[in-house]
Amino acid sequence: MDYDDMLDRAIEDAPDIEGTSDRFDVPDPDVRQEGNVTVYENFQATAKRLDRDPDHVMKFLQNELGTSGHIDESGRARLTGDFGERRIREAIDEYTEEYVLCSECGLPDTRFERESGVLLLRCEACGARSATKD
């Protein structure tokens, strides 16, 4: 058996892997107003599902929404201002596109790694690496 035959056989025997993120569902934001503060109740669940540091997600939300905020002792995000569920969902979707999903295969199996001072998103599924905004 020559190399091409072995390669054909290996490709036929390999399982089909779909390059979609259908298995990846981010929880819808559960938000409520408390005076002039928007409380993101399930913030910790979202950060956990994204498999990202809550402080990194919070920093992105603050920049994206143009506001200040903090994570309280219960793990909820408290954002100064009136932000609806839709606006927060859009910001989380943007975070997911930038910092979670692989730009090559679209899977969420990524990790941060820093190389020469640059923050990279490394996909554990396909091996792709891409630079991200720091």
Residue ranges of the domains in the chain? 28-100, 103-134
Q: In the prediction, which pLDDT does 23 show?
A: 61
Identify the band that residue 3 occupies on the pLDDT scale cut at 50, 70 and 90: confident
Distance of alpha carbon 28 from alpha carbon 48, whole angstroms: 13
Identify the band that residue 125 occupies on the pLDDT scale cut at 50, 70 and 90: confident
Nearest to 114 by CA among 132, 99, 94, 101: 132
Q: In the prediction, which pLDDT does 13 show?
A: 76
Distance of alpha carbon 107 from alpha carbon 133, whole angstroms: 19
Of residues 7 and 78, more confidence is placed in 78
Q: Is pLDDT above 60 for 17?
A: no
Using DSSP's 3-state secondary structure scheme, residue 116 falls into coil
Distance of alpha carbon 25 from alpha carbon 134, whole angstroms: 25
Q: In the prediction, which pLDDT does 133 show?
A: 80
State how far Cα 96 lies from the chain centre: 3
- Rounded to the nearest 5 percent, the helix, strand and coil shares of the chain are 35, 20, 45
What tokens appear for 25 in the block? 């569902």
Q: In the prediction, which pLDDT does 21 show?
A: 44
- pLDDT mean over 52-68: 96
Nearest to 39 by CA among 87, 12, 6, 71: 71
What tokens appear for 115 in the block? 């190389």
Q: What fold does the segment set 28-100 form as a domain?
A: Defensin A-like (3.30.30)
